[in-house]
Structure formats: C-alpha cells, structure tokens
A and B are shown apart, each in its own frame.
Chain A
Amino acid sequence: MKALRRLLVCGFVLLCAPPLAAETPAKPVNAAEFKSALVSARGKVVVLNLWATWCVPCLREVPDLLTVTNEVNASGVVLIGVAIDDPSPGASEVERFRKKYFPDFFTYARQGPEMDELASVIDPAWNEVVPTTYLIDRSGKVVRRIQGKKSAQEFRKMIKEML
C-alpha cells in the first residue's frame, strides 16, 4: 500500500513537473537550470522553440507548433519554448504575452543579460536569429536546427521522421 501511494505521488509529481505541464507560467531560468530541465526531458522527443514577443514570424509559428506537437503528444513529443526577450522581473512581459496568445505554450524565459544564454546550452553557435527550432531526440541529441518560420505541414513531416 505504501509502495502504491509512493508511486501515485511520484506520478503526480511527474505530471506536474515541467516541461510537460500546460498552462504553466513562463519561468525565468539560467543556463544551469535550463540544462537540468533538458536532461529531465530525456526519453522524449523535444521540440525546442526559441521565440520572442517582438518577433512576428515567431508569433505566427507557435500555434502551428502547438497543433503539431499535440497531435503526437502520445508518442512522447513535447514542445518547450525559450523566450529570448530582455529579462524582466518574473518574466512578466513574456508571461503576459504567453497567457494572452498561447496559454497552452510551455515556455521558459531568459534570466541573464545575454540573448544567447539559454540557446548556448544546446547550440553554442546559435546566431541569434528567431524563430529557431531544434529537434532533439530521446537521447538528448540535437538532430535538426530549423531557422525561420515553418508551416505546420513542414514541422509535422520533420517530427514524424523522428518517431
């Protein structure tokens, strides 16, 4: 009985833990925290999207990414956003935007002064262009870097190739 309870608690914790939770406020993180979050996501296919509230193509792309990743969510695909906006207390700008336009979008926000702080964790050669989307396999390896807005159809094809 104790073991069952422990399992239930563990399951609940896992369900609540980012990056899987929907309608989670944008969380400002540093590079170490972000790296740790990506390690936690191993075993899943991660679609990592670098975006900004001032980037119009990004804003057009996020709904498509949400649609496509929701379609294959059961196959262990998760969408993680990283907002590269200038940091503000409590990620308030990013969170206002996320909540208003994409309430189901799970995204981190950068905490430090450098725009490439979080992106450098997976791509030290990122050229500070948004949107940039990385497809990361279940072992945590980046298998594709996609720059510029892509359609739902293009993302669907690329993600399905990884499943």
Chain B
Amino acid sequence: MKLVAALFTTALVTLGSWASASPMGLSPEGQKASAPDIAVNSKGDIAVLWVDRSPQDKPADGAHHHDRHLAVTDVYVSISKDGGNTFSAPTKVNASSGAVWGQQVSRPRIVGTPNGTWHVAYSANDIHPKFNKTLLTTHYTRSVDGGRSFESPKRLSSVTDQDMSDVIHGGFASAAAFGTMASAPDGSVHVYWIDTRHMKPDSDSGALYGSASGDDGKTFTTDKQVIATGVCPCCQLTAVANSKSEIIMGSRRVEKDSFRPATVMTLSRSDDVAHERQSIGGAPWQINGCPLKPTVVALHDSKVFAASHSGGEATPGVIFSVSNDEGNSFKPRGIVHPSAAVSDAPAIAINKSLVLLAWHAKVGTAPRRVFYRYYNLDGDPLGEVKELESSPGVSQFPIIAVRPDGNFQLLWQQADRIWSTTLAAQ
C-alpha cells in the first residue's frame, strides 16, 4: 500500500511539473535547450520540439572528429493531448546521441498530419563515400504512435558531387540545411532546404531543394531543385500550405549588388514555382554577409502575413507586411517595434479573426525580451506592443501556434529552457 501511495505521489509530482499554470517549463532542467518549434494537428494535439545542446563535443558516431561544425545536438518532442494544458515527458527523436545539426538559425521542424503522425525534419552529418569527408544533409523521421517513438531517419538530400570543403562550411563537402517543412490539406508532407551542392566558390547564393511524401512520410520523392540560385544560403526557409495544398514559402533573395529582400512565393502541389518570389517590402537591405534572418509567413484565406528582420530600416528591426492577393503583392506595415533598439526573430499565428505577432527585442538597457502585439485581419494593430511576462533575464526566440480552443500557445527560450504560455484570443 505504501508503495502504491509512493508511486501515486511520484506520479502527481511528475504530472504537476508539466501541468502547472502557465508559464510552464517544457524542457527539463539540466538540458541546454534552444530553437523551439510547435505544430498542431487536425485532432487538436499539440507537438513541441526543441534542440538540446547538452551532447556538445560528442560528435555523432561516424563523423570525422577532425572536421568542424559537426552535429552535436539532440532533438526532443513533447506532446499535449489536452489542448496545451499539459505535455508529455519529452521523447528523444534521434537515436544516435548528438546526431542533429540544430541551432536557432537552422531549426529542426515539426508538422502533424490528420491521422496523428508527427513528422520531423532536421540537418545531420553523413560521410561522402568518394571524398571521405563530412556532409551536412537533411534528414526526416516520423512518429506513428503519437510521439512516443520515432522511426529510423532517412536522408532526403542527395549526396553532392562537388567537394567544397576547402572553401566553405568549415570542413563540409556541401550543405543541405536551413530547411523547413509543411503539411498540406491533401495529406502531403513537404520538406525543403537550402543546398550548396553546386554553389560556385565565389558565389553568395544557394539553391532551393525539396522532397515530398504522398503517403504520410512512408516514402519521399527524390529531391528536386526548385530554385537554382539566388537563395540566401544562411536564412532559414519557412513554409505553410494553403487550402489548395500549394506551398507558400518565405525566403530571402540574393540580388545584384548584395540586396537581400525578404520574399514570399507560391509553389504548386508538385513543387514547381507557381508565383515568383515577391518582396514583402520595406527599405532595401544591402548586405554582403550572413543575415541569418528567416521570413515567416502565415495564411488566412487569400491573405498572406509575413514578417522578417530588415537591417535596411533606419532602426534595424522586424517589419510586418500583408498581402491580400495570395502573396502576389505586399503592403508593408513598417517596423513592429519602433521604440526598440533592435528587434528580431518574428513569429506569426492566426486564429479565425486575430493575428498574433511575437518577436524579441532590446529596449533601452534591458536584455533581450519577448514582445507581442495583436492585429486584425487587415493587418491593423489592436492595442499596444506588450512584453511577455516571464522571469527576469534574456527571453528570446518566440514561436506561436493556435490552440484548439482558439487561444495562442507561445513558446520561447529562457536561459537554457523552453517555456510555454497561453495568450488569450482577445
């Protein structure tokens, strides 16, 4: 009886640590968690994902330890089956410790499909069979048991035929990273990444490649080049599917004289470019460097909402832009946080009538903190910019999704943990 009581108490304590009132810590103490992602499936289950940097300095088996920039992280997933009120104990996605090349600017991604499958894409290392050098490749795995376990990963990016290890990537023969993933209403799963397999040594731009599955992740198409050049090689892609199962993708374009506008484009169901990349507007940003800035997108009927950091503005920060014609043209709404010294890392989610935009910013002498603001479906602000209530210190890299109850689930990184809270749909 004592044993039962002890077990019951332990269970309550364990549950309590996950079921506490918001904000709640999702990643365990002791991990070095970062780079959160979130997905909601049509059943209303919520999956959260993060990268754990704890295995650092222990490269995955098979990697060349003399190389640089090796994968040294793990990915964890935790599931909520009650609309975001409680989350399961985290499951480690990768079987081999330290196998994932994941960080805030090249985050592993997670999406769900209607039958409950969770899909995860991330970058990892392989060894080139001919050059015997390390590659950075894009991998995929799925869970068909509600996030309790994940299948052996499959590599989606083909092995390069070019050795660029002496030019870029600190030892990699080529790289397929900074990727994204989307699930479409027709059940297809699409994975994209930025690829440097044919990048010229003096070039500043990568190519966009993708691979898709029509059988819930069981098999994937051979990877396909979607855009040959002109893709910022270090600005993570983002993608969502519209009601026609087309993909709306955010990326940064490399233009003549090093202008790098944030852009949005539409891909057909077969991953052909249906509408060329359109700039989301704002002041031109001329930068021959590594911006490391994604362009995030969210959809509502024919409206496309986009946000991205721009260094071209008088005060560098996040710009917000709205398209009323499925992304064919954009009307920029300006800097979202003009009083901040700098703002970055935007995230957008939309419920039936509200747009929630979150970002991190530095105001005055304060450390980086997470801020948010609501907008209507025309992109007009509702209320003021608000700072997220969280512990003192640095809070950063917000990610948002709409909960089944219509409220917003917001994740962020605070010190070495991932936290979650609920923001009411006002």
Contact = CB atoms under 8 A, between A and B. Distances in A.
A127 B318 CA distance: 11
Given A96-B68, A97-B170, A130 B290 contact: yes
Interface in B303-350: 309, 311, 315-317, 341-342, 344
B288 A128 contact: no
A86 B289 contact: no
A88 B416 CA distance: 17
B291 A129 contact: yes
A113 B344 CA distance: 18
Given A56-B204, A58-B290, A125-B341, A93 B69 contact: yes
Contacts of A124: 341, 362, 365
The CB with the most chain A CB atoms within 10 A, among B288, B291, B368, is that of: B288
Interface residue range, chain A: 20 to 34
A125 B340 CA distance: 9
Nearest to B167: A56
A115 B397 CA distance: 13
Interface string B273-296: 000000000000011111111000
Interface string A22-65: 00000000000000000000000000000011111111000000
The CB with the most chain A CB atoms within 10 A, among B56, B169, B289, B309, is that of: B289
Contacts of A132: 289
Given A93-B170, A128-B344, A148-B258, A55 B289 contact: yes
A125 B316 contact: yes
A26 to B, nearest CB: 13
A127 B344 contact: yes
Given A54-B69, A124-B341, A148-B286, A86 B170 contact: no
Interface string A77-115: 000000000101100010011000000000000000110
B288 A149 contact: yes
Interface residues of B, number: 36
Given A52-B290, A53-B69, A56-B204, A126 B32 contact: no
A86 B103 contact: yes
The SS class assigned to the A binding surface is: loop
A114 B56 CA distance: 15
Given A93-B68, A127-B342, A147-B289, A88 B56 contact: yes
Contacts of A19: none
B168 interface: yes
A150 B287 CA distance: 10
Interface string A124-140: 11111111100000000
B169 A114 contact: no
A57 B289 contact: yes
B394 interface: yes
B57 interface: yes
A93 B368 CA distance: 27
Nearest to B316: A127
A88 B365 contact: no
Given A127-B309, A127-B311, A58 B56 contact: no
A54 B36 CA distance: 22
Contacts of A129: 287, 289-293, 311
Interface string B26-70: 000000100000000000000000000100110000000000110
B169 A54 contact: yes
Nearest to A128: B292
Interface in B80-124: 103
A4 to B, nearest CB: 47
The CB with the most chain A CB atoms within 10 A, among B170, B290, B368, is that of: B290
B290 A55 contact: yes
A61 B1 CA distance: 71
Contact of B168 (A56, A88, A130): A56
A135 B57 CA distance: 35
A125 B57 CA distance: 31
A146 B53 CA distance: 32
Contact of A53 (B170, B311, B342): B170
A88 B291 CA distance: 23
B267 to A, nearest CB: 27
Contacts of B234: 54-55
Contacts of A89: 57
Given A97-B170, A113-B416, A127-B316, A53 B291 contact: no
14 contacts: A53-B68, A53-B69, A54-B290, A58-B290, A86-B53, A86-B56, A89-B57, A97-B170, A113-B32, A124-B365, A125-B342, A129-B290, A129-B292, A130-B289
| Ranked 7 nearest A-B pairs via Cβ | A125-B341, A148-B288, A148-B289, A149-B288, A125-B342, A148-B287, A127-B316
Interface of A: 52-59, 86, 88-89, 93, 96-97, 113-114, 116, 124-132, 147-150
